A and B are shown apart, each in its own frame.
Chain A
């Protein structure tokens, strides 16, 4: 069984540009989460999808961030326009619709905004 995959693994962009990160969850996992780790700080929650619906987007920093999960499969996270403080590692995780919540993480996308 394939794990959670993320693309790209690294992205270097200039301030003001747009970047789109992609996450493919484990097949059959209805729950999909985005997290971010800014250098030197803790991993912080961004948002949670259940299938194609946003269950919780309380962690989204501002309206420059847009997440989608069309069809309830893969998800994209777009940052437009990117700012210097958006640099960090963006993790995606998925879990099954069971009574427990074991989240399986992807390898992350390292975003550097210059």
Chain B
């Protein structure tokens, strides 16, 4: 069985500062890794995904994530955040076409 841990429930940061949202996963087999974002009053939007190949994955809105197999991590980063990045971010894993297993989410709060 897979599991995902997002240790930070909330991350406050000032505008234009860098941010890292942490995600660790547990799985005995190879998995696909995803980051989704939920803006206020909206549905889930795919930010980026790691399927195979390069361990550095670039997504939308300037976000990127790095897959680290030895540390079983898939941390999300952005070098300079904007107010509009305020949202809840979810890390998830899946095997093939099986269900997504989500972490508990991290609320990113960007203030001026």
Contacts and interface: CB of A to CB of B under 8 A. Distances in A.
A35 B100 contact: yes
A62 interface: no
B101 A41 contact: no
A84 B90 CA distance: 26
A107 B102 contact: no
Given A91-B44, A105-B44, A42 B102 contact: yes
A83 B5 CA distance: 29
B44 to A, nearest CB: 4
A101 B90 contact: no
Nearest to B96: A101
Nearest to A108: B43
Given A41-B104, A43-B90, A101-B94, A48 B99 contact: yes
Given A91-B43, A108-B43, A101 B97 contact: yes
A100 B51 CA distance: 7
Interface string B34-66: 101000001111100101000000000000000
B28 interface: no
Interface of B: 32, 34, 36, 42-46, 49, 51, 90, 92, 94, 96-105
**Which 7 A-B pairs have CB atoms at the shortest separation, nearest pair first?**
A107-B43, A45-B99, A105-B44, A43-B102, A42-B104, A101-B97, A42-B102
